[in-house]
Structure 1
Amino acid sequence: MEIASSMTDDVLIVHGGTPIEGEIKVRGAKNLVPKAMVAALLGSSPSRLRNVPDIRDVRVVRGLLQLHGVTVRTGEEPGELYMDPSRVERANVADIDAHAGSSRIPILLCGPLLHRLGHAFIPGLGGCDIGGRPVDFHFDVLRQFGATIDKRADGQYLEAPRGLRGCKIRLPYPSVGSTEQVLLTAVLAEGVTELSNAAVEPEIEDLICVLQKMGAMISMDTDRTIRITGVDRLEGYTHRALPDRLETASWASAALATKGSVYVRGAAQREMMTFLNVYRKVGGAFEIDDEGIRFWHPGGPLNAIALETDVHPGFQTDWQQPLVVALTQASGLSIVHETVYESRLGFTSALNQMGAHIQLYRECLGGSACRFGQRNFLHSAVVSGPTTLQGADLVIPDLRGGFSYLIAALAAQGTSRVHGIDLINRGYENFIKKLEDLGAKVERPA
């Protein structure tokens, strides 16, 4: 495999074949904390957010808030942020571009900035290449609220000359990002906003809790409909972010794939119930107490399963990639049907180079057809196991795929060189130290 020279300084050497054992801690969810930070822009008084992980997405949003005049500093306890938005101001376009290029989160600043300043600028957006995430839908939503959008060479310029007004919106798919966009825009918009076919992930509910603490009026119905009655003013909030269930599942899958045992302090059962059922079905063991969850391989063969990803409360797409590595060690044929992102199974080609037997298919191999079934996407996989993985040179494709490569390298015989590991910092706090704490044999090149 040819490795780009620009990535040679961003490498982790992994000596595999040793079970990981010990304890690590997870903090607030990557899919909530940056969005709660954006929500602080809407307040007329300071906010305090607790249980904040030190990850790149948090640093990106912190920089963007500071560029817009928000005072951001660490709080009194570890993992606490204090944010004062009393002096929000227009930011320099070049500075915004420098901060925003590595993340898609800045598009969520549009609604709050339109409310506070009457205008916003969004440059080109980054993020993981795992399939379509059409930002145009975000702009369509903002137009329905009354925003005007001027597309220029350096990005999108938005204004709200007559303010923002509530509207009726139906999502074609329960998109998390689109639901967040509506929530962050509707809370200060005039009138009532009705959002149907909304995402209802735990992180969405936690964001709603944040906004309700600020004074928002939001109700959720059982049919995925969210109604937001706009208010004239929001205050700051004090909130402890829910734990990161996606990072928790990654460490659980690592314990299973390496025949190890990991206690994840800070993990919570409620948001993990669907994952825990599948984990037990595969043959993994877990034990829950008031402080966290311990995951381990109980010995003996693992079980092949049929798995289909879905929006919450289904099996989350971000759980799929790490678990697929463990499924390479299960006896028999496992079937994985990815229904959320059309390109999320591309990471398996590197696993095959390590010795896995994974075949991709364009057909829907799950229990039901999905929106990708007639669109020529390789979105189903058959995993044949168990197979012995061998160390290899690996180039990280995306956040969850990257952590999956780490799991594969830990489970493999021999040494792997994992390139592009800085991408993992987007969503995994201090992951190299956590690996070391679990007894993993990892090192940076000399």
Structure 2
Amino acid sequence: MDSLRIRGGIPLNGELCPGGSKNATLPILAATLLSSGSVDIRNVPRVRDVTLMLELLDTLGAEIEVNGSDGVSVNTSRVHNLVAPYELVRRMRASFLVLGPLLARFGQVEVSLPGGCAIGSRPVDQHLKALRKLGASIDLDQGYVTARSKDRLQGADIEFDVVTVGGTQNVMMAASLAQGTTRLRNVAMEPEVVELAECLRSMGAHISGDGTECITIVGQEQLHGGGCKVRADRIEVGTFLAAAAATHGSIRIVDCDPFVLNTVLETFQRFGTTIKTDESTIELSAQHGELRATDIVTGVYPGIPTDLQAQFLALNCVSRGNSRVVETVFENRFMHLQELVRLGANASLESPTIAVIQGVSKLRGAKVMATDLRASSSLVIGALVADGMSQINRIYHLDRGYERIEEKLQLLGADVERVRAN
């Protein structure tokens, strides 16, 4: 397996253009299964999870054309295989999002229960409960979900028991081809939900209310071709902001949307960094003064994303003072903590969902192991700060969500190299 070698102690300085959002691209790719025409998607990140989703679409019978460095056209008019196999779904959780589209369009589907990062159970019960309310019959057997609908799905009023991004997306897609009107309440308001709705509208879906707590979908008999441009990955933006802050550097991130990061940017200011923004640019400077330890509580949008919890924890490890990081979204999401301790961090678990950190003035290089996608980015931040050489193993986790991360770090002045496996 590839690894990263990082010699730390170098401030990150310069300009970065982030890639497209992985978390927006994956449901948009699943949504192409609703269309009888071609869907053109631009600014697609070349990351492992996207490659796996394209592989799944190919397995189902979709025709896929890669256009340039960041374009993909998907035509699902000849989809014939209605089984999403364990071999693919186990490797990437978002592949479960094909359930709603295939059920709505073809009336039946068989999808393996999902895999992906090992961060708690992350159940799909909310997906299934809502699809049943649309009229689907659902069976679980030997690790597979089999869903059927005798006729078209029927619109319904649905209130999720808990806010769920994937559940909101799956049911919103299914309802786009249902008969009648569906109202979804207590939905996720994440920007990635809004991006999916925008792409669905380009395909002829009638959706309103995305970005609020209630989404209304008026089902259509069929959807046509469409297209969209994926926006900048807000988690990648937050990760590089954290890396620049931790190394006391200065970074300018272009072609992004500061508005969707309001809470995150306010949090960086609480750490003592200087933030400047305009319509499509974020500038952060941490070149003067100490960082201040800051308590973090993750939450659904517009709160602090759980996908930035590990990065903020790493930043607290090198900030003056004591802090607590509270994870409210997923269980078992502090596996990176012990690896940061190997780098010299003073951190421990108060409970399965609360970490306590006492900031230290220095970290030291060490060999560490990535355990999941976002945890691995916190180890990169720690290694960039640490004195000496660090080696991060199992970086295939990083490759799931970050495109050419070592090249982007090098452009900002980092001493980092990818060591290829033999």
**TM-score when scaled to structure 2?**
0.94
Stretch deviating more after TM superposition (22-31 or 181-190): 22-31
The counterpart of 2:152, out of the listed 141, 146, 163, is: 163
Asked whether the 8 Å contact 1:27–1:266 carries over to 2, the reply is: no
Tell me if 1:49 matches 2:41.
yes
Alignment correspondent of 1:89: 80
Distance 2:419 2:236 in 1: 26
Give 1:180 shift.
Answer: 0.7
In the TM superposition, what are the counterparts of 1:345-364 in structure 2 within 5 Å? 345-362=334-351
> Is contact 1:356-1:387 (8 Å) kept?
no
Q: Could you tell me which of 152, 155, 159 is aligned with 2:141?
A: 152
Separation in 2, partners of 1:388, 1:65 = 47
For the 8 Å contact 2:296–2:312, the answer to whether it is kept is no
The answer for the alignment partner of 1:249 in structure 2 is 238
Query: 1:221 deviation in Å?
Result: 7.8
Q: Larger deviation: 334-343 or 143-152?
A: 143-152
1:113-132 aligned within 5 A: 113-132=102-121
Cα pair 1:88 1:116 within 8 Å, conserved: no
Scaled by the length of structure 1, the TM-score of the pair is: 0.89
Question: Which residue identity is paired with 2:265?
Answer: L
Q: Percent identity?
A: 35
Partner of 2:58: 66
1:219-252 residue CA offsets vs partner (Å, 9 max, x unmatched):
2288612221211121121211121111100000
User: 1:193, 1:167 → 2: CA distance?
Assistant: 5
Change (3 A) 1:115 1:182: closer
Q: 1:131, 1:314 → 2: CA distance?
A: 20
Distance 1:132 1:118 in 2: 28
Contact 1:197 1:225 in 2 (8 A): yes
- Considering only aligned residues, what root-mean-square deviation do their CA atoms show, in Å? 2.0
Distance of 1:423 and 1:43 partners within structure 2? 32
Map of 1:31 onto structure 2: 23
Query: Residue 255 of structure 1: CA displacement?
Result: 0.4
Answer whether contact 1:26 1:264 (CA < 8 A) is retained.
Answer: yes
Instruction: Quote the residue 2:331 is aligned against.
Output: 342
Quote how far apart the aligned CAs of 1:341 are: 1.4
8 Å CA contact retained: 1:203, 1:242: no
* Cα gap change, 1:70 to 1:13, in 2 (>3 Å): same
- Matched with 2:32 is 40
Contact 1:90 1:117 in 2 (8 A): no
Q: Which amino acid aligns with 1:68?
A: L
Match of 1:79 among 54, 70, 86: 70
1:89 maps to amino acid: H
The equivalent of 1:409 in structure 2 is 383
**1:432/1:220 CA distance change after superposition, 3 Å:** same
- Unpaired stretches in structure 2, ≥5 consecutive residues: none
CA distance in 2, matches of 1:341, 1:155: 23
Pair 100,223 (structure 1): closer, same or farther in 2 beyond 3 Å: closer
CA change 1:108–1:221 in 2 (3 A) is closer
The number of residue pairs the alignment matches comes to 420
Q: Which runs of 5+ in 1 are unaligned?
A: 1-8, 363-377
Residues 194, 210 of structure 2: 8 Å contact kept? no
Q: How many Å separate the matches in 1 of 2:61 and 2:334?
A: 41
Counterpart in 1 of 2:417? 443
1:39-94 Cα distance to aligned partner (Å, 9 max, x none): 1111122111111110112111111112222211123x53111111221211576x
User: Secondary structure of the residue that 1:294 maps to in structure 2?
Assistant: strand
Return the offset for 1:18.
1.6
Q: How much has 1:173 moved relative to structure 2?
A: 1.4
Deviations for 1:273-317, whole angstroms, at most 9, x for unmatched residues?
Answer: 111111111111233345532323132111122222111111111
Does structure 2 conserve the Cα–Cα contact (< 8 Å) formed by 1:285 and 1:298? no
